[in-house]
């Protein structure tokens, strides 16, 4: 059964690992909700559903026709992301009465891991960087793309509804956009005399909703994409999470914090934040994008 990072951290007895995961999830609406499937090996080969089967009415004695869904076999490989954090022994012994220096340094490294994952989740391109994995912009197929127009246009609620309707088998679990697009959506809502729903997430932060769907902000969704003659366009994504939809992949043990130990060349100890992770889209109808969103 796939688990989110937050749920998985509750199964760990390592308080440092739990703290790192909480730091990562607090800053990322994707990592708060994206479930991860733990796999054995360095990759997962699976059948991605492209179209569903059909049914028909028949008369008595009719010949029944066979119809099956279509699949594409895909392999998603785990990628290695992380970084080392060196803690100076002198500072650790003289200043840890004010703040746990090791925890503070590891927390900063954890945020760097979260930033890299959030960027790759949207913009990852394995063909240009074989060390990374493909993000949702590449995983989203042409038939799941809605356009604001040849040269883009300002956001409309009709187009946002069309985007949501592209995700089949239930509502999306998250709408992901840039801060500029969120401002445009807020302006649209005020223009029609209403406001977006708001509530607090499990970490105490404020979260907005459109049509009951959480709105996530990702600072790596570009506002400078080119569409036609316009070079100030952005993209909005809608996605459904789960083992039959969009899911993260992780190696055994998930995200780990490894104490490398004392260094030979300097008076410091090293801690490594390490994660074998990837992304898998099991059904192409579970992710959609709206392109050409202009300010």
What pLDDT digit, counting tens, does each position of 252-274 carry?
Answer: 888 888 888 888 888 888 888 89
Beta strands 206-210 and 230-239, pairing class: unpaired
Q: How far is CA 78 from CA 37, 75, 119, 147, 184, in A?
A: 11, 10, 16, 32, 36
Which range marks the domain in which residue 202 is found?
141-242+286-294
Please state, in angstroms and as integers, the Cα–Cα distance from residue 56 to each residue in 69, 71, 86, 169, following that order: 15, 21, 65, 20
Percent of the chain with pLDDT over 70: 96
Give the confidence band of 51 by pLDDT, cuts at 50, 70, 90.
confident
SS (H, E, C) 216-240: EECCCCCCCEEECCEEEEEEEEEEC
Both 232 and 259 in a single domain? Answer: no
**HSE (CB half, 13 Å, CA atoms) of 7?**
10
Q: Quote the pLDDT of residue 118.
A: 96
Q: What is the CATH number of the domain that holds 276?
A: 3.30.2400.10
Cβ atoms of 122 and 221 closer than 8 Å: yes
Least confidently predicted of 145-159, 167-181, 262-276: 262-276
Q: Is the pLDDT reported for residue 105 higher than 80? A: yes
Tokens of 53: 């089967």
**55 by DSSP, 3-state: which?**
coil
Tens of pLDDT, residues 221-234: 999 999 999 999 99
Does one domain contain both 262 and 202? Answer: no
Are 221 and 119 contained in the same domain? no
- Work out how many domains the chain is built from and give that number: 2
């Amino acid at each position: 059964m796939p688990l989110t990072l937050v749920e998985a951290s509750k199964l760990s007895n390592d308080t440092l690992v739990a703290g790192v995961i909480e730091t990562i999830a607090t800053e990322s609406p994707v990592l708060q909700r994206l479930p991860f499937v733990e796999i054995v090996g360095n990759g997962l080969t699976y059948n991605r559903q492209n179209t569903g089967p059909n049914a028909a009415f028949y008369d008595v004695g009719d010949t029944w026709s066979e119809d099956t869904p279509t699949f594409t076999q895909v392999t998603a490989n785990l990628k290695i992301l992380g970084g080392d954090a060196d803690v100076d022994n002198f500072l650790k012994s003289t200043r840890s009465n004010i703040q746990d220096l090791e925890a503070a340094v590891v927390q900063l490294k954890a945020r760097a891991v979260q930033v890299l994952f959030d960027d790759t989740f949207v913009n990852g391109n394995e063909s240009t960087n074989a060390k990374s994995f493909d993000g949702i912009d590449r995983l989203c197929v042409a038939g799941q793309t809605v356009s604001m127009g040849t040269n883009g246009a300002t956001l409309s609620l009709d187009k946002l509804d069309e985007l949501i309707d592209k995700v089949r088998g239930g509502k999306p679990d998250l709408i992901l956009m840039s801060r500029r697009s969120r401002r445009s959506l807020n302006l649209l809502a005020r223009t029609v005399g209403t406001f977006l729903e708001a509530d607090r997430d499990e970490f105490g932060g404020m979260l907005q909703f459109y049509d009951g769907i959480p709105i996530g902000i990702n600072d790596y969704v570009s506002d400078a994409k080119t569409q036609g003659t316009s070079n100030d366009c952005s993209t909005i994504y809608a996605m459904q999470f789960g083992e039959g939809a969009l899911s993260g992949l992780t190696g055994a043990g998930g995200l780990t914090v490894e104490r490398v130990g004392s260094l030979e060349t300097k008076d410091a100890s090293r801690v490594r934040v390490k994660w074998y992770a990837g992304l898998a889209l099991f059904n192409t109808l579970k992710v959609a994008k709206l392109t050409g969103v202009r300010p």
